[in-house]
């Protein structure tokens, strides 16, 4: 990865869509991205999936894959599915790691150096 400027990673494989929509122009990719600087992930964003049926199917498919690998299944977030059924406008969002920005700005080596309290106490 380039160290002197941000690196944008986009066109994730559709299998890595998570809660993002699949591109209508190329069904092989998800509409999501990540931003890295100096090898550290700073942000993650995507075009939100608003189709309740598709989200339910993804959750179920993920659980089938986990079961096939002998891993515990995750409970399906029925509150999310119900909210999507009511309707959600087309939207997108970005999660920015402010703690990571502070870490880079201060030249800290770890997040533990810049957070106010340990993750165990969060």
Number of domain units in the chain: 1
Distance CA(61)–CA(51), nearest Å, equals: 15
pLDDT the model gives residue 120: 78
Nearest to 17 by CA among 40, 33, 39: 33
Report if pTM > 0.95.
no
Distance CA(19)–CA(54), nearest Å, equals: 10
pLDDT the model gives residue 1: 53
Distance CA(59)–CA(63), nearest Å, equals: 6
Domain extent for 102: 7-121
Q: 88 in a domain, yes or no?
A: yes
Q: 114 in a domain, yes or no?
A: yes
CATH of the domain at 56: 3.30.930.10
Please report which confidence band the pLDDT of residue 121 belongs to, taking 50, 70 and 90 as the band edges: confident
- The mean per-residue pLDDT over the stretch 29-54 comes to 96
Q: 2 in a domain, yes or no?
A: no
Q: 1 in a domain, yes or no?
A: no
């Amino acid at each position: 990865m380039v160290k002197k400027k941000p690196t944008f990673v986009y066109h994730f494989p559709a299998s890595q869509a998570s809660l993002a929509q699949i591109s209508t122009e190329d069904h092989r990719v998800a509409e999501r991205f990540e931003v890295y600087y100096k090898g550290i992930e700073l942000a993650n964003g995507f075009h939100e999936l608003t189709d309740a049926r598709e989200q339910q199917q993804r959750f179920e498919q993920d659980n089938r894959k986990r079961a096939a690998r002998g891993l515990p299944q995750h409970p399906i977030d029925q509150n999310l599915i119900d909210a999507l059924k009511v309707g959600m406008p087309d939207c997108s969002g970005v999660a920015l790691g402010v703690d990571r920005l502070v870490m880079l700005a201060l030249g800290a080596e770890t997040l533990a150096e810049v957070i106010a309290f340990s993750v165990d106490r969060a």
